[in-house]
Amino acid sequence: MSIRILTIEDDERIRTAVRFALEDEGWSVLEAETGEQALEGFNSMAPDLVLVDIGLPGIDGFEVCRELRRGSDVPIIMVTARDDTHDVVAGLEAGADDYVTKPIAPKELSARIRALLRRVKPEDASAAPRTVGDLEIIPDEGVVRKNGEEIHLTKTEFHLLCELSDQLGKVLSREHLLEEVWGYDYFGDGRLVDVHVRRLRTKVEPDPAHPRHVVTVRGMGYKLQA
């Protein structure tokens, strides 16, 4: 069955252009003109990935993202009108895995979708379970436990944690993490890493304001420690 991508965009011209670009890649395209429509039909449409515009007539793209994240870890790409730090960070904090800016470059969009779909696949099954302080990470099952209780991470957060735990105690640069987790070697953006680290901390840290496990090493990157 082909990959199904839900596009949420009120501008018909853009929606159509995106549909052509995605169909060209062999993906099936589902469409919604408003966030309300998308949320209502989300379960029956069961998309493999969601592309959501921030600027929508009713509830905006941020709200759509937050609503979807309440019950789903479907990969989400946010579409922003410009490369505005506030919008990008707010989108990622709302739960998006990645973002693209308008005007949408079809090749870049396809590359980002492909990278994100790759991430959805389970980790290397040979990766052994590991314990980091009060955290237990089981890569091939996609499970993380904190003090014995399972916690829910999105696929991107999970891959980020696995990557950091693969090299426990070692500082990994943003560039390295972008390459390993997002699969980007040239159009990466450190904000993707920073916001995902913040999101990860809210879930795995005893006190997210004073991280004990996912530590920032100023000017160098991040490391995971017990």
CB of 18 to Ca ion, least distance (A): 11
Residue type, 6: L
Binders of Ca ion among residues 2 to 21 (CB under 5 A) are 10-11
Region for residue 55 given its phi and psi (left: phi exceeds 0; alpha: psi -120 to 50; beta: otherwise): beta
Q: Say how far apart CA 61 and CA 91 lie, in whole Å.
A: 8
Binders of Ca ion among residues 187 to 216 (CB under 5 A) are none
Count of CB atoms within 10 A of residue 185's CB?
9
Q: Does 87 bind Ca ion (CB under 5 A)?
A: no
CB of 87 to Ca ion, least distance (A): 13
CB 217 within 8 A of CB 123: no
Instruction: Give strand pairing partners of 143.
Output: 138
Q: Does 101 bind Ca ion (CB under 5 A)?
A: no
Binders of Ca ion among residues 42 to 61 (CB under 5 A) are 53, 55
Residue type, 186: Y
Q: Does 93 bind Ca ion (CB under 5 A)?
A: no
Q: Does 63 bind Ca ion (CB under 5 A)?
A: no
Apex CA 134: angle with CA 128 and CA 136, to 5°? 25
Q: Does 106 bind Ca ion (CB under 5 A)?
A: no
Give whichever of 91 and 221 is closer to Ca ion, judged by the CB atom. 91
Q: Does 33 bind Ca ion (CB under 5 A)?
A: no
- Which residues make up the interface to Ca ion (CB under 5 A)? 10-11, 53, 55
